[in-house]
Amino acid sequence: MAIETPKVLDCSVTECSYNTNKACHAIAITVGDSTCAMCDTYYKSSQKGGAMEITGSVGACKEDDCKFNKSLECAASGIHVANHMGHADCSTYSRR
């Protein structure tokens, strides 16, 4: 059975190495830490990374208090990522 991973529909954190024109090109991001629905894949560098031919998607998410989280995976149809207090956060996060 093929499993669809939720796409990063847009990401406004343009200084991230994986970001080009507000699109994420990391193959699979990891979301969540102890306090925020943070994009753990965020990386600031002069080097651009990722695969230009793909749109990034959520590989895993540790925010188990989000209503879209099922068994530490994201079940949303897609997510938005934006700057929140100086770091990249999943803005689709919604507390159960």
Give the span between the Cα atoms of 84 and 91, in whole angstroms: 9
Instruction: Say whether residue 76 binds ligand SF4 (CB under 6 A).
Output: yes
Minimum separation from the CB atom of position 3 to ligand SF4 (A): 14
Count Cα neighbours of 52 within 13 Å in the Cβ-side half-sphere. Answer: 3
Give the span between the Cα atoms of 37 and 56, in whole angstroms: 16
Minimum separation from the CB atom of position 1 to ligand SF4 (A): 20
Tokens 């990063």 -> residue: 8
Question: Among residue numbers 14 through 73, which ones bind ligand SF4 (CB under 6 A)?
Answer: 16, 18-19, 24, 26, 29, 31, 37, 39, 41-42, 56, 58, 61, 63, 66, 68-69
